[in-house]
Structure 1
Amino acid sequence: MGRIGPTEIILILVVIVLLFGAKKLPDMARSLGKSARILKSEAKAMKDESGKQETAPTEPYDEAPAQRTIKAAPGDVTGSRPVAESTTDNTKR
């Protein structure tokens, strides 16, 4: 009791296909994959930024905010947009 067997998995898959339709499932899977790639790239960027902040000098400097492009997916130029980032650390509250 409490375990999901192959019969239950097949039943769940049949219900999903009936609810969403077979035509929409590949689009939904593609969209989910793009979202996962975006999340992974943003997490990596945040990790890289936190590593740079630890080694960066603590003195403020008078430069314009760095421009960074967030891509929707690797190689997808239609979904990318430039993002201006502030040089101040507003993450601590």
Structure 2
Amino acid sequence: FAGACASCHSGSPASASQGLPLEKSGATHAESARNLVQFILHGRQLPPGAASVAMPGFARLLTRQQVADLAAYIRARYSNEPPFQQLDATVNELADRAGLP
């Protein structure tokens, strides 16, 4: 988390203009890990001229296990929801679909 996410999502005043606070993200609170894993893998691309901030994807930088660990950490740290079910299977399915190692 510290190396990939904290600079934009730490909740500090310096990061407030960068990324959505993770406790406010629907992906953090969703029943399925699918959207959160998609964000971690592929980021968020914006159309030209959009007022929001894009997010890089980390598919080529993180292993599947690191993606699963990161999603589990975000869920535990920024949500009162129970752990994601079938998290490893979700990561593997989405990584396979994207042709990732």
Q: TM-score scaled to structure 2, two decimals?
A: 0.26
Q: TM-score scaled to structure 1, two decimals?
A: 0.27
Structure 1 or 2: more helix by fraction: 1
Structure 1 or 2: more strand by fraction: 1
Larger Rg: 1
Higher RCO (CA-CA < 8 Å; seq separation 6+): 2
